[in-house]
């Protein structure tokens, strides 16, 4: 049974239908990526998983359990953490306080301390800036903080929405290396990206979303080699 | 010299009361981005509930027992906290996704509701027992629960125990709030919600609970200010009297002057407003005390519109 099972998901924003029956599976231990153009419905899919938008149809099962009707703060407790689009760091709090908020749902002090140490080893640049207000971090550092913060919830499934957005190529490389490392230590990852090239290199499997529908899904390698994806998302090379 | 010291002490006392009320305005604004116009009425209720409790518990005549003041203070804080919780639940929560103007108008409605309910005369069972709740249309006199002794005298100024207690309790409560907001997990959650409620929910924070809690804390502080004000100035005007509205308004000015949404700003703003008002009244003209306050507001809005401690917000995209 997949860890996350999305069946026929539809989402409306008022009169606009953003998703038309999307189905996605994510198995334990995988990195799965959703790629697609602007406005395809990638973020909407993640918002629906986290409970930020209510589906108008279909089902989302996590570990076999329907998430329907649960508020966002309870879905986190089941083991799903999201680093949202635009990072959503708390710029009025310090870096350290942002990390503490990431562990908000946990009570195991020792475990939190261990995960904090580990997050700071993954992102040494954050370790140097713990007492700094998070709003003063650079874009890349803010993205690191968003991922580190999600890590502190000790999720079974991590949702990452465009972690490469607006970052210089070298920082993107670093971030993707760390995403793989997080996955290697047992966290399942659902990764939304416009940077299809990087995403398909990191992922095991991928789904291509166009105007609210899944139009292709396959092994990441096969997708990267397919003509459609190369033409539409990889600039034809 | 005598007058300077006396004015200074009164300024700090009045200012710390403004600060306590301003905190409620600023915290609710920080989280929901709307001005809770009914907050000044919670302050009025704090004073009137204190009076009612003191009267019904028989602390009105003679020397009250030592526990009268803490009992009445805590009772009033608890009842007003409950009121704040209820108002948020019934009036504001259903409007969580409504345009802000709707919430604002609702707040004015809540304010009028509280003021007018407060004027109902006691009836039936209540009247038979001589209970003062609802509070009626007449002014009342708050029994002195805090000892009115003179502690000591410096250069002709009598330092009264009641003043020292008012200032002491107000500062202790502000210290407690400072600790709550900046030193606890719940305070961190409040600050996170105030910055971005959606992302806060993604962190596992129950945003509705944090909002309820914020209303309770703000109301509890306003109630304490009501009690302390009634002890310092024991003649209570009737609930809908314009002095209450004016006091609430000046506390709101304090929140704006300090930087609305900023907890430390509300404390600083309250003290500043108290000082400006009382020094103006003592050294310029006592008739114009409200003018000084609102002139200060105008100056601050012109020179530093985000308030003394407010930050002109710059968001990184
Ligand atoms: N709050 C909203 N209200 C109305 N329409 C919305 C809202 N959010 C998204 N949409 C619409 O839903 C569709 C899908 O949006 P979504 O944010 O999921 O796209 P996306 O694939 O994440 O795009 P991008 O790569 O640009 O982030 C778009 O047409 C968008 O305009
Ligand atoms: Mg998106």
Q: Is 0.95 topped by the overall pTM?
A: no
Percentage above 90 pLDDT, chain B: 67
* Cis amide leading into B134 (omega within 30): yes
CB proximity list for B176: less than 8 A, separation 6 or greater = none
Tokens representing residue B184 in the block: 């606890």
Measuring CA to CA, which residue among A52, A47, A77 is closest to residue A192? A47
Buried b or exposed e, range A141-167, using 16+ CB within 10 angstroms: bbbbbbbbbbbbbbbbbbbbbbbbbeb
- The ligand with the least distance to the CA atom of A36 is 1
- Domain B2-303 CATH assignment equals 1.20.144: no
A206 in contact with ligand 1, CB cutoff 6 A: no
A42 in contact with ligand 1, CB cutoff 6 A: yes
Which residues keep their CB under 5 angstroms from ion ligand 2?
A 43, 85
> CA-to-CA distance for B296 and B307, rounded, in angstroms?
11
Q: What is the DSSP string of B10-43?
A: HHHHHHHHHHHHHHHHHHHHHHH-S--TTHHHHH
Partners of residue B195 in chain A, C-beta under 8 Å = 90-93
A18 in contact with ligand 1, CB cutoff 6 A: yes
Tokens representing residue B197 in the block: 């409620």
Q: What is the DSSP string of A165-192?
A: TT--HHHHHHHHHHHHHHHHTT-EEEEE
- Is the Cβ pair B198, A52 closer than 8 Å? yes
CB proximity list for A91: less than 8 A, separation 6 or greater = A133, A134, A135, A136, B195, B315, B316
In this structure, are residues A120 and A152 in contact, taking their beta carbons and an 8 Å threshold? Answer: no
- Is the Cβ pair A73, B198 closer than 8 Å? no
Tokens representing residue B5 in the block: 């010291």
Among B93, B187, B197, B202, the strongest candidate for a mutation testing the A interface, having the largest count of A CBs within 10 A, is B202
Task: Compute the count of residue pairs across chains A and B with CB atoms less than 8 Å apart.
Answer: 73
Rounded to the nearest angstrom, the gap between the alpha carbon of residue B121 and the centroid of all alpha carbons in its chain is 25
pLDDT tens across A145-196, in order?
A: 999 999 999 999 999 999 999 899 999 999 999 999 999 999 999 999 999 9
A10 in contact with ligand 1, CB cutoff 6 A: no
A84 in contact with ligand 1, CB cutoff 6 A: no
**HSE-CB of B213 using CA atoms within 13 angstroms:** 17
> CA-to-CA distance for A161 and B202, rounded, in angstroms?
13
CB proximity list for B295: less than 8 A, separation 6 or greater = none
With H, G, I as helix, E, B as strand and everything else as coil, classify residue B249. helix
Domains of chain A: 1-79+156-237 (3.40.50.300), 87-154 (no CATH)
**Alpha-helix residue ranges (DSSP H) falling in B184-232:** 185-195, 197-202, 207-232
Measuring CA to CA, which residue among B200, B180, B50 is closest to residue A92? B200
This complex has an ipTM of 0.93
Q: What are the pLDDT tens digits along chain B (317 aa)?
A: 788 888 999 999 999 999 999 999 999 999 988 899 999 999 999 999 999 899 888 888 778 888 999 999 999 999 999 999 999 999 999 999 899 899 999 999 999 999 888 887 767 776 776 665 567 788 888 988 888 788 788 878 888 888 899 999 999 999 999 999 999 999 999 999 999 999 999 999 999 999 999 999 999 999 999 999 999 999 999 888 899 999 999 999 999 999 998 999 999 999 999 999 999 999 998 888 999 999 999 999 999 988 988 876 543 33
Does the CB of A70 have a partner CB in chain B at under 8 Å?
Answer: no
Which residues face B157 on adjacent strands? Answer: B154
What's the angle, vertex CA A61, arms to CA A60 and CA A66, rounded to 5?
A: 90
> CA-to-CA distance for B290 and B273, rounded, in angstroms?
10
Q: Which residue of B has its CA nearest to A97?
A: B188
Rounded to the nearest angstrom, the gap between the alpha carbon of residue B281 and the centroid of all alpha carbons in its chain is 22
Among A47, A67, A72, A76, the strongest candidate for a mutation testing the B interface, having the largest count of B CBs within 10 A, is A72
In this structure, are residues B15 and B246 in contact, taking their beta carbons and an 8 Å threshold? Answer: no
- Is the Cβ pair A139, B314 closer than 8 Å? no
> CA-to-CA distance for A49 and A75, rounded, in angstroms?
8
- H helix or E strand, kind and range, residue A81: strand A80-83
How many angstroms separate the alpha carbon of residue A165 from the centre of ligand 1? Answer: 16
């Amino acid at each position: 049974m997949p860890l996350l099972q999305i069946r026929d998901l539809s989402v409306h924003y008022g009169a606009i239908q953003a998703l038309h029956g999307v189905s996605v599976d994510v198995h334990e231990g995988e990195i799965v990526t959703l790629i697609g153009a602007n406005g395809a419905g990638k973020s909407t899919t993640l918002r629906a998983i986290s409970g930020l938008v209510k589906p108008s149809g279909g089902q989302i099962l996590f570990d076999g359990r329907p998430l329907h009707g649960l508020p966002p703060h309870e879905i986190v407790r089941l083991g799903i953490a999201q680093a949202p689009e635009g990072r959503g760091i708390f710029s009025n709090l310090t870096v350290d306080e942002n990390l503490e908020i990431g562990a908000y749902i946990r009570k195991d002090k020792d475990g939190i301390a261990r995960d904090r140490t580990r997050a700071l080893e993954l992102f040494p640049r954050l370790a140097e800036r713990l007492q700094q207000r998070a709003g003063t971090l650079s874009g890349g550092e803010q993205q690191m903080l968003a991922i580190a913060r999600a890590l502190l919830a000790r999720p079974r499934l991590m949702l990452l929405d465009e972690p490469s957005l607006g970052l210089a190529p070298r920082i993107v490389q670093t971030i993707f290396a760390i995403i793989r490392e997080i996955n290697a230590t047992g966290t399942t990852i659902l990764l939304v990206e416009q940077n299809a090239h990087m995403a398909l290199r990191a992922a095991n499997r991928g789904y291509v979303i166009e105007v609210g529908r899944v139009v292709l899904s396959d092994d990441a390698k096969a997708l990267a080699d397919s003509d459609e994806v190369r033409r539409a998302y990889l600039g034809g090379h | 010299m005598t007058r300077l010291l006396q004015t200074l002490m009164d300024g700090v006392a009045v200012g710390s009361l403004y600060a306590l009320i301003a905190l409620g305005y600023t915290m609710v604004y920080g989280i929901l981005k709307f001005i809770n116009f009914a907050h000044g009425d919670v302050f009025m209720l704090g004073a009137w509930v204190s009076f009612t409790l003191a009267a019904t518990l028989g602390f009105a005549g003679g020397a009250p027992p030592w526990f009268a003041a803490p009992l009445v203070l805590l009772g009033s804080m608890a009842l007003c906290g409950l009121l704040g919780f209820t108002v948020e639940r019934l009036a504001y929560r259903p409007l969580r996704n409504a345009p802000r103007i709707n919430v604002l108008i609702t707040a004015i409605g809540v304010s009028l509701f509280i003021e007018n309910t407060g004027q109902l005369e006691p009836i039936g069972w209540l009247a038979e027992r001589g209970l003062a709740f609802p509070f009626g249309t007449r002014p009342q006199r708050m029994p002195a629960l805090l000892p009115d002794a003179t502690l000591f005298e410096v250069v002709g100024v009598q330092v009264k125990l009641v003043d020292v207690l008012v200032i002491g309790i107000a500062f202790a409560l502000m210290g407690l709030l400072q600790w709550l907001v900046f030193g606890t997990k719940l305070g961190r959650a409040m600050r996170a919600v105030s910055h971005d409620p959606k992302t806060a929910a993604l962190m596992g924070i129950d945003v509705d609970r944090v909002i309820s809690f914020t209303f309770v804390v703000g109301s509890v502080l306003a109630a304490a200010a009501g009690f302390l004000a009634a002890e310092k100035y024991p003649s209570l005007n009737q609930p809908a009297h314009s002095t209450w509205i004016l006091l609430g308004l000046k506390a709101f000015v304090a929140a704006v002057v300090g930087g609305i949404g900023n907890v430390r700003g509300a404390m600083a703003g309250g003290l500043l407003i108290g000082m400006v008002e009382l020094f103006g009244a003592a050294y310029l003209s006592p008739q114009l005390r409200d003018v000084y306050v609102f002139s200060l507001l105008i100056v601050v809005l012109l020179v530093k519109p985000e308030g003394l401690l407010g930050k002109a917000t710059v968001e990184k995209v």
